Amino acid sequence: LTREGFSTVPDVTWGDVGGIDHLRTQLKDYVVNPIKYPETFEKFGGKLNLETGFLLYGPPGCGKTLVAKAVANEAGANFIHIKGPELLNKYVGESERAIRTLFQRARQSSPCVIFFDEVDALTTNRGSGRGREGDLAVGGLLNQFLIELHGGDRRDVYVIGATNRIDVIDPAFLRPGRFTNRVYVPLPNADDRVSILKSIAKKRPIDPSVDLDAIANKYCEGFSGADLANLMDKAIHVAVKEKFQSIESSEDGDMNSSDCTIKFTHFKQAL
């Protein structure tokens, strides 16, 4: 479902996400079940504690966006991706209007997940150098956001916030009934790296001799999910380049003469 090209059900599934299994259960309770089984929630007297936001925090490139998309996909919900700074406007009232419009659109395409990246930008303006006007814009926007989040008519609109800077988030955000559910999305450990690399490799022609466990374990210490995705892209690039070189140097230029798989040597060169 596309609505003015604005919100759609994402095509990312849980199969595309490696590691961070704990999040799946929590987000299922928060987003998926209320959308899929509204009668059960009604029987218990409504949506109880669900009228709050869900905040994912942690280092960049570790799957926050991916997880938010996968949960919307699982729920069959539309997805709106918005970045905090996009809503900031120094003209009085404009930022509030932007927030209102955002939630209005979400309600029109409900069930809907609003993924609020860089949500810290909405909180007080410490050290950003935007000056007094910027501060005012941020203050009004924060208030409007809290009104929509807490008191507004939510109707199957779910807010998932994300930040790399939980330390600068205004405490007003974190009070009960606001971003009460907070989950840390860490840098992946060795097992997570294996699972991430395998999920990224799923749709790629990896040579059967390649030991992805060993690559993720031995060579990728400290890598984020985004770093692993980048490694895969580079390995593909090396493999493609090698393939074309071999075609050019072969006498008959036969495109089909050798295979098209990504081998360990390609990963090694990409590292």
For ligand ATP, the binding residues (CB under 6 A) are 17-20, 60-66, 117, 162, 164, 196, 199-200, 225-226, 229
Chain CA centroid to CA 73, Å: 12
In the sheet that 78-83 helps form, which strands lie side by side, from edge to edge?
78-83, 112-117, 157-163, 54-57, 181-184
Report the nearest approach of ligand ATP to the CB of residue 76 (Å). 20
The type of residue at 86 is: E
CB-based burial of residue 44 (10 Å sphere; 0-12 exposed, 13-18 middle, 19+ buried)?
A: exposed
Report the nearest approach of ligand ATP to the CB of residue 264 (Å). 21
Contact 161, 116 (CB under 8 A): yes
Residue (94 or 227) nearer to ligand ATP, CB = 227
Report the nearest approach of ligand ATP to the CB of residue 87 (Å). 16
Kindly compute the dihedral angle of the four CA atoms of residues 125, 128, 131, 136, in this order, to the nearest 10 degrees: -20
Residue (58 or 152) nearer to ligand ATP, CB = 58
Report the nearest approach of ligand ATP to the CB of residue 238 (Å). 18
Report the nearest approach of ligand ATP to the CB of residue 23 (Å). 9
Pairing of strands 78-83, 157-163: unpaired
Query: Which of helix, strand or coil describes residue 172?
Result: helix
Residue (67 or 154) nearer to ligand ATP, CB = 67
Q: Tokens at residue 268, please?
A: 């090694």
Report the nearest approach of ligand ATP to the CB of residue 81 (Å). 10
Report the nearest approach of ligand ATP to the CB of residue 37 (Å). 27
Report the nearest approach of ligand ATP to the CB of residue 163 (Å). 8
Residue (50 or 229) nearer to ligand ATP, CB = 229
Residue (53 or 225) nearer to ligand ATP, CB = 225
Q: Indicate if the alpha-carbon torsion angle 80, 158, 184, 20 is positive or negative.
A: negative
Contact 97, 141 (CB under 8 A): no
Long-range contacts of 129-137, Cβ-Cβ distance < 8 Å, separation of 24 or more: 130/88, 130/90, 133/90, 134/88, 134/90, 136/92, 137/88, 137/89, 137/90, 137/91, 137/92, 137/94, 137/95
Q: Tokens at residue 236, please?
A: 């593909």
Residue (166 or 226) nearer to ligand ATP, CB = 226
Residue (64 or 266) nearer to ligand ATP, CB = 64
- Residue 159, strand partner residues: 114
Residue (9 or 156) nearer to ligand ATP, CB = 9
Q: Which residue is nearest to ligand ATP (CB)?
A: 225
